C-alpha cells in the first residue's frame, strides 16, 4: 500500500491554515531547571492550547479542510484529548461530532467532550474495541473519520507546535517530545528537521508503554500488552502505521520514564513553572530531570503536550 507521507511544506501550510484559530502557546523557561540540568531548556506549553492539549492543532487542520455542507458529521475514537479537540474544532466550524471513548477514561476528559457538544459513545478499553465501535457507527451514519494520529492532516497539524517553538527559542540542538500513537512526534520531527536539519529528535515513552522504542529497535511495528501507566495519553499498545513510517526515519532515539519520575516532573512543573500538566504532558520534562538524555546538548526544546488532569487527580498525583 502506498501512503502519502506529510512533508515539511504540509506543516507550514497547516500553520498558516490553523494560525487564526489556535492559541500560539507561550514558551517558558526556568532558571531553576537550567541551573539543575546545566542546559538551556525551552518548554512549549500546549497545556495552554484550546482544549488543554496540542490535539486541537491537528483537529483544526482537518476540519478546516472539510466542507460542512458535504460532510456535516465527523467521528473519532480517543482516550480523551483528541476527542475533546475534535468536538471543539467541529463546533467552532459548524460540524456535528461523535466521539467514541473508552469507559475507563479520566472523568474530566469525558466531561469536557460532553461540554464541547459532541455525541459521546462509550466502549470497552483498548484500541480494537474502539475501532470496532467506530466501524459499527459508520455502517449506519456516513461521517468523516478523523483518526487520532494515523492521518497525514493530523500529523501536519501537530507539527505546528514545534514550528512555533523553533521560531521563538532560536536554534535548538534537541527536541524532546512525548510519544503515544506517534502523531505529535511525527509532526514535530518533520517540522524540526525541516527548519534545522541535524537536530536531534528524542521521543519519551512511559516505561510500561515502550511500543515505539521496541518497534524502532525491531525495525517494524511491535504490539505490547495494553500499558498500565499514569500517563494515560500514552497508553498505545502499537505505533500507528503512518506515524511509524515517519518516526523510523526521523526520530533519533526513544527514552523511557517511570511513573515516579513523571510524578517528580509534575511536582517540578507546579513548584517552578506554576503550570498544571497531565502525566503524559510531563514526560519530556521528567526525562530531562531524570537525566535520560545522554549526552545532553546545550539547548533543548521540550513539548509539554497537555494539562487535562483535573484538580482531584492532581492532588492525588502530588501527594
User: Which residues bind to a copy of itself, rule: CB under 8 A?
Assistant: 26, 28, 32, 47-48, 52, 108, 115, 266-267, 270-271, 274-277, 307, 309-312, 314-316, 318-319
Least distance (Å) from a copy of itself to the CB of residue 54? 13
- Rounded CA-CA distance 202/135 in Å is 34
249-285 b/e with 16+ CB inside 10 Å = b?
ebbeebbbbebebbbbbbebbeeebebbbbbbbbbbb
| DSSP of 58-121 | HHHHHHTTS-TTT--EEEEE-SSHHHHHHHHHHHHTT-EEEEEEETTS-HHHHHHHHHTTPEEE
Nearest to 121 by CA among 130, 87, 52: 130
3-state secondary structure 227-255: CCCCCHHHCCCCCCHHHHHHHHHHCCEEE
Nearest to 78 by CA among 280, 275, 250, 266: 280
Least distance (Å) from a copy of itself to the CB of residue 119? 20
C-alpha 221 chain-centroid distance: 19
Contact 55, 22 (CB under 8 A): no
Is 44 a catalytic site residue? Answer: no
- Rounded CA-CA distance 285/287 in Å is 5
Is 55 a catalytic site residue? Answer: yes
Contact 54, 82 (CB under 8 A): no
Instruction: Return the C-alpha cell found at 181.
Output: 500513537
Active site members: 55, 79
Amino acid at each position: 500500500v502506498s501512503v502519502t507521507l506529510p512533508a515539511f511544506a504540509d506543516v507550514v501550510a497547516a500553520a498558516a491554515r490553523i494560525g487564526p484559530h489556535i492559541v500560539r502557546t507561550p514558551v517558558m523557561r526556568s532558571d531553576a531547571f537550567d541551573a539543575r540540568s546545566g542546559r538551556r531548556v525551552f518548554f512549549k506549553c500546549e497545556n495552554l492550547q484550546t482544549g488543554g492539549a496540542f490535539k486541537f492543532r491537528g483537529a483544526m487542520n482537518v476540519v478546516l479542510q472539510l466542507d460542512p455542507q458535504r460532510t456535516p458529521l465527523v467521528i473519532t475514537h480517543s482516550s480523551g484529548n483528541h476527542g475533546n479537540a475534535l468536538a471543539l474544532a467541529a463546533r467552532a466550524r459548524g460540524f456535528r461530532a461523535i466521539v467514541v471513548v473508552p469507559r475507563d477514561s479520566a472523568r474530566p476528559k469525558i466531561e469536557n467532550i460532553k461540554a464541547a457538544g459532541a455525541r459521546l459513545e462509550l466502549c470497552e478499553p483498548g484500541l480494537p474495541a474502539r475501532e470496532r465501535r467506530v466501524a459499527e457507527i459508520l455502517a449506519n451514519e456516513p461521517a468523516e473519520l478523523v483518526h487520532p494520529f494515523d492521518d497525514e492532516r493530523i500529523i501536519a497539524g501537530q507539527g505546528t507546535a514545534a514550528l512555533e517553538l523553533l521560531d521563538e527559542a532560536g536554534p535548538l540542538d534537541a527536541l524532546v517530545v512525548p510519544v503515544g500513537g506517534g502523531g505529535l512526534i511525527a509532526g514535530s520531527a518533520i517540522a524540526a528537521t525541516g527548519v534545522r536539519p541535524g537536530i536531534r529528535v528524542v521521543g519519551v515513552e512511559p516505561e510500561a508503554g515502550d511500543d515505539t522504542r521496541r518497534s524502532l529497535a525491531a525495525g517494524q511495528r511491535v504490539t505490547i500488552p495494553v500499558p498500565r501507566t499514569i500517563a494515560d495519553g500514552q497508553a498505545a499498545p502499537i505505533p500507528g502505521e503512518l506515524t511509524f513510517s515517519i518516526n523510523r526515519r526521523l526520530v533519533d532515539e526513544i527514552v523511557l520514564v517511570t511513573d515516579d519520575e513523571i510524578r517528580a516532573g509534575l511536582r517540578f512543573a507546579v513548584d517552578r513553572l506554576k503550570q498544571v500538566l497531565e502525566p503524559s504532558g510531563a514526560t519530556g520534562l521528567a526525562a530531562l530531570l531524570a537525566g535520560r538524555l545522554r549526552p545532553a546538548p546545550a539547548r533543548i526544546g521540550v513539548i509539554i503536550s497537555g494539562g487535562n488532569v483535573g484538580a482531584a487527580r492532581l492532588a492525588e498525583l502530588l501527594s
